[in-house]
Amino acid sequence: MGSLDVAPTWASIFPHGDHVVLGGGQRRSDDTTPDPAEEADVIARCAAIEPSLAGAEVLGHRVGLRPGRAAPRVAAEWRGDALVVHNYGHAGNGVMLSWGCARDAAALALGAAPAA
C-alpha cells in the first residue's frame, strides 16, 4: 500500500464548523510531504462511512508528525521562577484529545502554585 508501513484499518471524520477534517493515515516517517495515494485512500475510507464526502471539495492536505507516549503528558512544573506547562505525546489522538487536554493545561497554567 505505497509508503504505509502498516495498512490503516480506521478512518476519522471530524466536523469543524464550515469544514471537515478526515484522517486515517499511519505512515511512519518524519517526512511531511503529502502522499497522493495515501490522501486518496483516506478520502475513500471516509467516504465509505459518509458517502457525501466522496464529492466534497478538498480544501487542502496536511501531514503532521504525531509523537506519542504511553499516555499524553499534561503536567506543570516550576523551573526556577518559570511555570512550564507540558501538553504533548498525544500520537494520533491529538484531534480527539485536544479540547480536554487544552482545558487541563490552561487550568494548570492559571492555578498551579510553586512547589514548597
Task: Name, in order, each residue with C-beta under 8 angstroms of 104's C-beta and a sequence gap of 6 or more.
Answer: 74, 87
- Grid coordinates standing for 4? 504505509
Residue 2 pLDDT: 44
Mean pLDDT, residues 1-14 taken together: 64
Residue 48 is which amino acid? A
Name the pTM for this structure.
Answer: 0.61
Cell of 85: 506547562
CA triple 6-27-73, angle to 5 deg: 105
Mean pLDDT of the chain: 83
Give the residue from 70, 73, 69 showing the smallest Cα distance to 87.
Answer: 73
The pLDDT confidence band at residue 93, using thresholds 50, 70 and 90, is confident
* pLDDT at res. 112: 58
For residue 77, give the C-alpha cell: 512544573
All three cell numbers of 70 = 504511553
Question: In Å, what is the CA distance from 28 to each residue of 20, 25, 75?
Answer: 24, 9, 27
Choose among 39, 44, 46: nearest CA to 14: 46
Residues 16-35 have a mean pLDDT of 83
Amino acid at the residue 95: V
The proportion of the chain whose per-residue pLDDT surpasses 70, expressed as a percent, equals 85
pLDDT at 116 over 60: no
pLDDT at 94 over 80: no
